[in-house]
Each structure stands twice: as C-alpha cells, then as structure tokens.
Amino acid sequence: MSFVLDDVGLTHTNGFVALAGIRLSAAQGESIALIGPSGAGKTSLLTAIGTAHLPSSGRMQVLGQDLPAVPSARQLKALRSLIGTVHQSAPIALRQRVVTAVLAGRLGQWPLWKALASLAYPQDIAGAREALARVQLEDKLFARCDQLSGGQLQRVGIARVLYQQARLILADEPVSALDPALSLATVQLLVQEAAAREATLVASLHAVDLALRCFARIVGIRDGRIAFDLPAAQVSQAQLQALYAHADGSAAALPTLGSMGSATPHLVPGPAAEVITCR
C-alpha cells in the first residue's frame, strides 16, 4: 500500500479539530480526488499524508513508514524526499531562477555537495527544461520567478514535482490560478504522470466536474470527516448536494471548472456515471 490511515485525527495546538476518524488507504499507483467545501479538511488531510503534520490520534503508514511513531530526522527526510507536494501557492523563492526552482525537486535525493553546487550553478539544465516543457513553460527556464504570474508560478511548482519523480504526489488545489482549458490539461498531465510511473496521486480540487472527469476514485470530505469514498461513476448528484449543502441544510451550487472565479457557479450537469476519465 502507498498509505494507510486508520482512525486518524488531527487537532491543532489551538484546539481546533481539523480531522477526525479518518480511515483511508491507497494502493501504489492509485489516483484519488478529494472534494468538499472550503474548510472541509482537504488540505489538512494532504498535510497529514505528506507528514507535514503528524496525526494527534490513530495510526498511519506512508510508503512503508509507520507514523506517528517519531522517526529519526534522517528517516523523515528520506521519506519526504519520496513525496512530491504541489501547493496552491507554490513556496518558491521569488528572487531565484525558474531552473533552480525546478531542480529543487531533487535536493532531498542528491548528496549535499551536489545540492549546494546546484544552487550556484544548475546541475541538470536539460532535465529542468524537459519538466518545464510539459507544463508549457520551457521559454521561462532562466527567468526570475518574480517575473512570473501566479498561474505560471503554480506550473513551476508542478514542474518541480514532475522533475522530482516522487512515489507519492500530493496536489492541493494545483490549478486554482489557471484558466479552465489549462486546468484540464494540467490535471490530465498529473494523472498521466502518476499512471506512467505507478506513483500514487491524491489531489484536492475545487471544481467537482474536473474531479469526476479525471479521477476514477472520489473522496468527499466535510467537517474533517470522510463523507463518502466511491468510484466516480457511483457518486450521485444527491451525495454531491449533501456534501456542499450550507450549514443550515439548504442546497448550494456545486463549484465547477466553468465557475472558477465566476460570481455565478453552475451545477454539475448529469449523473456522475456519464463522466469521461482523463486518459
């Protein structure tokens, strides 16, 4: 298994319960979309799987490592080098060159001398160029990151994870700054990359239709708990409406790819069984 979460809870130091009773597992090579309203716990779940936050309760295993039994710093570093994370706002130093930002994907895998040398002079320019070409940014190879738009920075973060060749890819709203056409192409790229390398992919997505179209397995999250875990073709309109309903139980519009950034969201049309996967 790529990861197993058994009754995992995550409570922050201020007492806020971000996750409760999470039972979730994924086989190596599986791709999963996380959906749910804002504040549902999708990001918290990704940070737990990625070991950025160790669980407050329950048992978790990630890539063969049992947690929260505290591993040594060396073990944790080795584990994290196998996990690639695409952040909604990529944590990229804006004064560095794009090539350096992409090559940072393998700093945890390289010996110290090579990692330090790459900060002074990029050690694999061809590899960085290839990763950037896959997100349509090869012309920005030597540009400074502070010269890029938010959407371009988001794609640089994706290129960094592609270059890393991680065994487990965690993507937190990876296309939030992209237009609908580029969003679809980028999610397709992540799904295809995971399938080609038998890497596990877990992505939280704002657009419900994008998740249903591109992923075979959908996990709905609400109030820090799993509402459902189903094949995409079995997710019903009623389940989606319940997942996104307002706190008072009234119906809410479902966020879709066409409504990203729009003041008038549209409902996902038709049953989930009609979706076409990104292949």
Report the chain's mean pLDDT, rounded to a whole number: 88
Cα-only R_g, the chain: 19
Average pLDDT of the residues in 4-21 = 95
Q: Where are the alpha helices (DSSP H) in the chain?
A: 42-49, 73-80, 98-103, 112-120, 125-134, 150-164, 180-197, 208-214, 237-244
Check residue 216 and give its pLDDT: 95
Question: Is pLDDT larger for residue 89 or for residue 58?
Answer: 58
Q: Taking residues 105-110, what's their average pLDDT? A: 82
Task: Judge whether residue 249 has pLDDT over 90.
Answer: no
State the pLDDT at residue 259: 64
Q: Residue 92 — very low, low, confident or very high, per pLDDT cuts 50/70/90?
A: confident
**Per-residue pLDDT at 271 exceeds 60:** no
* Per-residue confidence (pLDDT) for residue 166, from 0 to 100: 94
- Is the predicted pLDDT of residue 204 greater than 50, yes or no? yes
pLDDT at residue 186 tops 80: yes
- Going by pLDDT thresholds of 50, 70 and 90, the confidence category of residue 238 is very high
Name the residue type at position 157: G
Residue pair 12/18 in contact (Cβ under 8 Å)? The answer is: yes
User: Hey, what are 168's tokens?
Assistant: 């487990």
Helix, strand or coil for residue 56? coil
The set of residues, in sequence order, having a beta carbon less than 8 Å from that of 267 and lying 6+ positions away, is 253, 254, 256
Residues forming beta bridges with residue 239, ordered by sequence position: none
Span 44-56, pLDDT tens digits = 999 999 999 889 9
Residue 135 DSSP code:
T
Q: What is the pLDDT of residues 130-157, one digit of tens each?
A: 999 999 999 999 999 999 999 999 999 9
Q: Mean pLDDT lowest for which of 33-42, 104-113, 226-235?
A: 104-113
Residue with the larger pLDDT of the pair 29 and 113: 29
DSSP code per residue over 252-273: -PPP-GGGTT-SS--PPPS-GG
Contact in structure between 219 and 16 (CB atoms under 8 Å):
no
Whether residue 109 has pLDDT greater than 60: yes
Using alpha carbons, select from 150, 219, 155, 149 the residue that is nearest to residue 186: 155
Torsion-angle region of 63 (φ positive above 0: left; ψ -120 to 50: alpha; else: beta): left
The pLDDT value recorded for residue 278 is: 61
DSSP 133: H
- Read off the pLDDT band of 264 (50, 70, 90): very low
Nearest Cα residue to 175 out of 192, 193, 157, 163: 157
Asked if pLDDT for residue 161 goes beyond 80, the answer is yes
Closest CA to 156 of 180, 168, 140: 140
What pLDDT band is residue 123 in, cutting at 50, 70 and 90?
Answer: confident
For the ranges 116-125, 179-188, 261-270, which has the lowest average pLDDT? Answer: 261-270
Contacts of 132 (CB under 8 A, 6+ apart): 98, 102, 138, 140, 141, 156, 159
The pair of structure tokens assigned to 62 is 């990630």
List, in order of start, the domains of the chain with CATH numbers: 1-82+170-279 (3.40.50.300), 88-165 (no CATH)
Mean pLDDT of 212-221: 97
